């Protein structure tokens, strides 16, 4: 990330403790990254800018590294870590597909008010899906704050200002972003809510709120799906849907784009790809593009969040 000449670099061994100390003596947090395990922040105070980091040699944010396809299977018992704003993050794509994508299973255990602030991200694609509980959020030009329930999805277009306000105890969401390393940038001026302009475009994408309770199930490759409308909101960049099988099998044709991601929201099934893999709740997988796959032996309550993207320049 390019920085003004006046920025002072401070290297620390304990990032969280150093950040708390600097904020405690009056420094304002302007930028922090990555969200799932922060190691770098930009802070300002009394005309001074400081870049605080515990990883001075880490890749710069905002770059779109070359996509590196691979098969990924991440089990539910994977460990998580403390991320931004007191949220616990579990990494669903540990290798990040060359740094191209990050997918996180995020939890807020206690619920209540969230220590968040108005911010935005410099990303090419980002979405949030609720698995458990509820969360109240507010977005730039999207009217009053609203509550997302289990099954709901939002598309966060590039650089849209937003804020997480409060959540239920035990909130769980799935977040996917591209590129994997991107900044969370504070907006200290804009107050939300700021009115409503639902047709506004943010870098070629439109905000989209998908309400699962208002969406019908339609046929999908032998099963059924709830389509979110993200394909239209991103001009074909991504597709996001929830899939159920009802005891049937699902034969999914090869996808010729980039990301082919699945997250088991509920239930169990068998993933047939190169071998048979038994899937349980909160397991996640990535299939390389250009290769078909199959789901079988699904439980009656099986639900899968599927996300695909086209090739990104």
Residue 246 lies in a domain: yes
Please state the domain count of the chain. 3
Residues 151 and 220 in one domain: no
Residue 70 lies in a domain: no
Question: pLDDT category, 83, cuts 50, 70, 90?
Answer: low
Residues 127 and 239 in one domain: no
Residues 49 and 16 in one domain: yes
Number of DSSP helices (H) and strands (E) in the chain, helices first: 2, 28
Residue 24 lies in a domain: yes
DSSP 222-282: TEEEEE-SHHHHTTTSEEEEEEE-TT--EEEPP--SS-EEEEEEES-EEEEESEEEEE-TT
- Sequence-separated (6 or more) residues with CB below 8 Å from residue 126: 155, 156, 157, 158, 175, 176, 177, 178
pLDDT mean over 16-36? 93
CATH number of the domain bearing residue 203: 2.60.120.10
Residue 14 lies in a domain: yes
Residues 31 and 103 in one domain: no
User: What pLDDT is stored for residue 63 in this prediction?
Assistant: 74
**Residue that terminates a domain, selected from 212, 230, 259:** 212
Residues 217 and 192 in one domain: no
Residues 193 and 263 in one domain: no
Residue 61 lies in a domain: no
45-63 tens-digit pLDDT: 988 999 999 999 987 786 7
Residue 245 lies in a domain: yes
Question: pLDDT category, 159, cuts 50, 70, 90?
Answer: very high
279-291 tens-digit pLDDT: 999 999 999 999 9
- Domain housing 43: 7-53
pLDDT mean over 141-162? 98
CA 11 remoteness from chain centre: 28
**Residue that terminates a domain, selected from 151, 186, 212:** 212
Residues 204 and 224 in one domain: no
Q: Report yes or no: 181 and 34 within 8 Å, Cβ to Cβ.
A: yes
Residues 192 and 91 in one domain: yes
- DSSP symbol at 204: T
Q: Report yes or no: 170 and 110 within 8 Å, Cβ to Cβ.
A: no
Residues 89 and 102 in one domain: yes
CATH number of the domain bearing residue 47: 3.10.180.10
Question: pLDDT category, 84, cuts 50, 70, 90?
Answer: low
Residue 68 lies in a domain: no
Alpha-carbon distance of 51 to 43, in angstroms, equals 7
Residues 234 and 279 in one domain: yes
Residue 252 lies in a domain: yes
Number of C-alpha atoms within 13 angstroms, CB side, residue 295? 29
Q: Mean pLDDT score of the chain, rounded to an integer?
A: 93
Residues 232 and 251 in one domain: yes
Specify burial of residue 303 (Cβ count, 10 A radius: 0-12, 13-18, 19+).
buried
Specify burial of residue 5 (Cβ count, 10 A radius: 0-12, 13-18, 19+).
exposed
Residues 130 and 218 in one domain: no
Q: Quick check: 3 pLDDT over 60?
A: no
Alpha-carbon distance of 201 to 206, in angstroms, equals 5
**Residue that terminates a domain, selected from 170, 189, 212:** 212
Q: How far is CA 61 from CA 16, 65, 179, in A?
A: 19, 10, 8
Decide the pairing of beta strands 48-53 and 7-11. parallel
Q: Quick check: 79 pLDDT over 60?
A: no
């Amino acid at each position: 990330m390019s920085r003004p000449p006046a920025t002072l670099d401070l290297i620390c061994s304990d990032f969280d403790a150093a950040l708390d100390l600097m904020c405690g003596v009056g420094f304002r947090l302007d930028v922090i990254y990555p969200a799932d395990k922060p190691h770098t922040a930009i802070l300002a105070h009394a005309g001074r800018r400081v870049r605080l980091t515990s990883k001075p040699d880490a890749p710069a944010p905002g770059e779109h590294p070359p996509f590196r396809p691979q098969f990924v299977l991440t089990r539910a018992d994977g460990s998580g870590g403390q991320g931004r704003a007191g949220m616990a993050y579990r990494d669903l794509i540990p290798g990040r597909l060359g740094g191209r994508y990050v997918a996180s299973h995020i939890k807020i255990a206690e619920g209540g008010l969230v220590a968040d602030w108005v911010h935005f991200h410099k990303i090419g694609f980002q979405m949030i899906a609720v698995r458990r509980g509820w969360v109240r959020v507010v977005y730039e030009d999207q009217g009053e704050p609203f509550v997302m329930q289990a099954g709901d999805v939002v598309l966060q277009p590039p650089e849209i200002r937003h804020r997480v306000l409060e959540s239920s105890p035990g909130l769980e969401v799935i977040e996917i972003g591209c590129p994997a390393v991107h900044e969370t940038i504070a907006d200290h001026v804009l107050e939300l809510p700021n009115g409503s302009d639902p047709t506004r475009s943010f870098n070629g994408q439109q905000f989209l709120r998908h309400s699962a309770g208002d969406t019908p199930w339609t046929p999908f490759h032998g099963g059924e799906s709830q389509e979110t409308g993200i394909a239209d909101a991103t001009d074909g960049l991504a597709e996001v849907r929830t899939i159920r099988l009802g005891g049937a099998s699902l034969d999914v044709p090869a996808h010729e784009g980039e990301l082919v991601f699945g997250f088991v929201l509920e239930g169990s099934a068998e993933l047939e790809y190169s071998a048979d893999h038994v899937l349980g709740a909160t397991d996640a997988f990535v299939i390389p593009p250009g290769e078909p796959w199959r789901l079988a032996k699904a439980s009656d309550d099986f639900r899968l969040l599927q996300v695909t993207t086209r090739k990104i320049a």
